[in-house]
Amino acid sequence: MQRLGERIRNRRESLNIQINNLAVAIGVTPSLISQIERAKAFPSIITLKKIADALQTTVGNLIGENETYSRNPVVKFSEKRIVQTNNQGATLYLLSNHDQQKLMEPYLFVFPPESGSDNLSSLMPGQSFYYVLKGIVRIETEFQEFKLTDGDGFYFNSGHKHTIFNSGPKEAMLLWISTNPIL
């Protein structure tokens, strides 16, 4: 209950909202807001929903359901989660725990020979960085084509159309860091 109050206070203060203004917005007394923030009172689910709406967040964020990565920042390689596999057999894996507050997201592409990234990524605002862990890949953009091998990196604007292909005879693995999480 104490963490709930801390999250409410932190969110309220980050938005520069005074206790009195929050209380008026949701129809409760400033004293109740103060008690909730100090873990002296627990809001009903209806009041909690009103607080979340007034603070432009979700009940889930206020109760901490999205703090997975801060409580458990480690994801073992064996625990990586499949995001999607396309019809060519290429697979996109998520390499971190889910959290709506993250500013970037790490993924792993695994490409069998002669496969590409069709339907695994899309145009989105932000930036991306690819790093070839193993294999030979070709990245085609609207303007150019690039051949990358083990240890090569590629940094670009994610809003530009691009496709990635495994152009080698063996499986290729590519680390992808995106500033715009797709989940």
Q: What is 45-76 written as a DSSP string? A: HHHHHHHHHHTTS-HHHHHTTT-HHHH-----
How many domains does the structure of the chain reveal? 2
115, 117, 131, 145, 157 from 161: Cα distances, Å: 18, 12, 18, 12, 9
Locate tokens 């860091």: which residue? 177
Share of the chain above pLDDT 90, in %: 56
Residue bearing the bigger pLDDT, 138 or 60: 138
Please tell me whether residues 155 and 89 are part of one structural domain.
yes
Q: Compute the average pLDDT of residues 160-176.
A: 93
Residue 66's pLDDT is what? Answer: 60
Asked whether residue 183 is domain-assigned, the answer is no
Residue 63: pLDDT band with limits 50, 70, 90: confident
Residue 123's pLDDT is what? Answer: 66
Residue 82's pLDDT is what? Answer: 86
Residue 60's pLDDT is what? Answer: 83
Residue 183's pLDDT is what? Answer: 44
Locate tokens 């994801």: which residue? 75
DSSP 118: T
Q: Provide the residue range defining the domain that includes 136.
A: 72-178
Structural domain ending residue among the three candidates 65, 82, 104:
65
Q: Compute the average pLDDT of residues 85-106.
A: 83
Q: What is the pTM of this model?
A: 0.61
- CATH code: domain of residue 57: 1.10.260.40
Nearest to 85 by CA among 106, 123, 112: 112
Please tell me whether residues 61 and 78 are part of one structural domain.
no
CB 112 within 8 A of CB 165: no
Please tell me whether residues 102 and 173 are part of one structural domain.
yes
